[in-house]
Structure 1
């Protein structure tokens, strides 16, 4: 599907957000069983899934990264290190999948195996975009420490800060912490505009309860007399 240059990706997230992968609850799977939360599955279920995918290493590592199966990720990469760079039809790598799932140990393992920290999907999303969209603050911090581009924009002009400002996760604490993490970064460019013309602060005022945090990056006015 092609979009005009000024389309609003945030509106698309509101209307089609249920189709976007978000860890174990992703709807980009092949069966209804896989739409359940990871906590709803037994260890036997995971082992059966791994067995069914053993002859499909690309699918296996993508699935394992999304479902926080660190030993399986390690096993696949030992057999074929190049699979750290594989992706699905939408350009999501194992690192993207681990990032939106909030799986810090898997993220660390993938980065240790030289996963590209700034790999882009067909929509221009990096793993940092994925982490910030779902308020995965620990993952976002890890990615930034490994060189994730802070101000990178998607095809719709969205930065990780736009996505963090637009979404409040089920954990209010993690939403706030994700915004604080990004806003505290020295090289942040907070005024970048999306294709629809909005800055992250604009998005926060419109859609979130944490717009006051953007005072951290506002220009200060000195009141001290000369």
Structure 2
């Protein structure tokens, strides 16, 4: 579209500003394709009998059971196990993932709440240096991200590879089902965010977003503004 020389952008804003996407709805509706949606893996649905059988098989392995239960949103099982042995909240698998990590990357905020209430550390590290906030941001679990931040999660924590939660949120923008844009907006709105931190590959989160997804424009939220007001 060509505009006349006397075209005034401010006039366009005043007459058509209501059409400009804002806030959580600011990402383009065309950013994902039908092919992208078809490639999205649907969560497998199991019967209650299937879950009960799994729990029965793990009943003599409480550490494995609570890790599995946290990942699979079995809140009553998590609470029952913690009542019997409160120290289970601190257990982890061979890679260092705690029940909180598993609940975080699976997006189970009620389980996350129960674990933190039971005394789980908010910032435990895996062997690769991932915190639960890293896990939640990698899979764009925006509700969990918000909850963890409210309970003291380290916003700018870096993994062994130098990745911050923002790096991970920026790298996962392919699926509308995972609230990737909302997660980025939430992180970028945090007062103490350090968006310029570099990963071990010498990339900022903005650079990751530029090459891996459609939401790079959201980083305008943290870009330096140029003042046009005279001193």
On whether the aligned pair clears a TM of 0.5, the verdict is yes
Residue of structure 2 aligned with 1:114, choices 119, 132, 138? 119
Is the CA contact 1:62–1:97 (under 8 Å) kept in the aligned structure 2?
A: yes
Is the CA contact 1:135–1:169 (under 8 Å) kept in the aligned structure 2?
A: no
User: Cα distance, 1:173 vs. partner?
Assistant: 6.8
Q: What's 2:220 paired with?
A: 215
Distance 1:119 1:38 in 2: 29
Question: What does 1:155-170 align with in structure 2 at a 5 Å threshold?
Answer: 155-170=160-175
Q: What's 2:30 paired with?
A: none
Q: What's 1:10 paired with?
A: none
Q: Structure 1 residue 95 and structure 2 residue 100: aligned?
A: yes
Q: Structure 1 residue 150 and structure 2 residue 155: aligned?
A: yes
RMSD after superposition:
1.3
Is the CA contact 1:38–1:67 (under 8 Å) kept in the aligned structure 2?
A: no
- Name the count of aligned residue pairs: 191
User: Cα distance, 1:166 vs. partner?
Assistant: 0.5
Q: What's 1:56 paired with?
A: 61
The gaps in structure 2 that reach 5 residues or longer are 1-40
Is the CA contact 2:167–2:208 (under 8 Å) kept in the aligned structure 1?
A: yes
Structure 1 runs of 4+ with >3 Å offset: none
Q: Structure 1 residue 140 and structure 2 residue 162: aligned?
A: no
Taking a change above 3 Å as real, the CA distance of residues 173 and 77 of structure 1, as seen in their structure-2 partners, is closer
Is the CA contact 2:107–2:144 (under 8 Å) kept in the aligned structure 1?
A: yes
Deviations 1:4-50 (A, max 9, x none): xxxxxxxxxxxxxxxxxxxxx9xxxxxxxxxx9441x1100100111
Is the CA contact 1:134–1:169 (under 8 Å) kept in the aligned structure 2?
A: no
Distance 1:38 1:134 in 2: 17
The gaps in structure 1 that reach 5 residues or longer are 1-24, 26-35
Taking a change above 3 Å as real, the CA distance of residues 184 and 89 of structure 1, as seen in their structure-2 partners, is same
Residue of structure 1 aligned with 2:185, choices 180, 185, 201? 180
Deviations 1:91-150 (A, max 9, x none): 000000000000010000001011111000000000000000000000000000000000
Taking a change above 3 Å as real, the CA distance of residues 192 and 133 of structure 1, as seen in their structure-2 partners, is same
Q: What's 2:85 paired with?
A: 80
User: Cα distance, 1:220 vs. partner?
Assistant: 1.1
Q: What's 1:201 paired with?
A: 206
Normalization by structure 1: what TM-score? Answer: 0.82
Taking a change above 3 Å as real, the CA distance of residues 219 and 96 of structure 1, as seen in their structure-2 partners, is same
Is the CA contact 2:141–2:178 (under 8 Å) kept in the aligned structure 1?
A: no
Residue of structure 2 aligned with 1:127, choices 82, 107, 132? 132
Distance 2:43 2:202 in 1: 36
